[in-house]
């Protein structure tokens, strides 16, 4: 009986991917079981655009906390802030990103960060891919996710990128040990 348990291997790892934004924050949860990646859930958090800025950030934070409580991820991955021409918009997006990072950190989850170009390159093969190309590859990799919105597809792409990064790190560690 002990031998059978040892053969079972490590438990699957659940990864929460987040694509933060003030108007729409995409989220997606995937499960990594060895080399097998599967879709768990996804969605979009949409705070009221008429609410004060602080309440929108609070809504974002609380919604991510609820997602963590419901789906019990082991790790989180967040897309880095895209710097645009408007410094005020970039700063506000940074606040949303902070809320998206603090929620999993508060839950004790390790939080990885990935640049948008890294996510696009990991899924499509080029850092200049557009949202439709990323969504297409998410559907190919996670067919049970169906037609996820652009924000949710981006979040799933972040989770997939993190899952692949974990696999590469494990392979490298085995190569160094062997």
Q: Which residues are catalytic?
A: 19, 79, 151
Determine the Cα–Cα distance for residues 160 and 170; give it in Å rounded to an integer.
Answer: 15
- CB within 8 Å of 133: residues ≥ 6 apart: 120, 124
**Which pair of structure tokens corresponds to residue 123?**
């899924």
Determine the Cα–Cα distance for residues 130 and 52; give it in Å rounded to an integer.
Answer: 32
Q: What is the largest CA-CA distance in the chain?
A: 62
């Amino acid at each position: 009986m002990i031998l059978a348990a040892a053969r079972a291997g490590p438990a699957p790892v659940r990864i929460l991917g987040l694509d933060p934004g003030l108007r729409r924050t995409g989220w997606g949860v995937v499960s990594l079981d060895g080399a097998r990646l599967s879709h768990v859930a996804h969605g979009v958090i949409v705070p009221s655009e008429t609410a004060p800025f602080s309440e929108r950030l609070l809504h974002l934070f609380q919604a991510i906390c609820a997602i963590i409580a419901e789906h019990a991820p082991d790790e989180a991955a967040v897309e880095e802030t895209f710097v645009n021409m408007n410094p005020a918009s970039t700063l506000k997006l940074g606040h949303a990103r902070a809320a998206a990072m603090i929620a999993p950190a508060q839950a004790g989850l390790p939080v990885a960060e990935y640049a948008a170009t890294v996510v696009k390159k990991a899924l499509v093969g080029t850092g200049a891919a557009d949202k439709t190309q990323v969504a297409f590859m998410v559907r190919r990799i996670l067919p049970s996710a169906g037609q996820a919105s652009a924000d949710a597809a981006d979040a799933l792409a972040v989770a997939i990128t993190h899952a692949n990064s974990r696999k590469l790190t494990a392979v490298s560690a085995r190569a160094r040990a062997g």
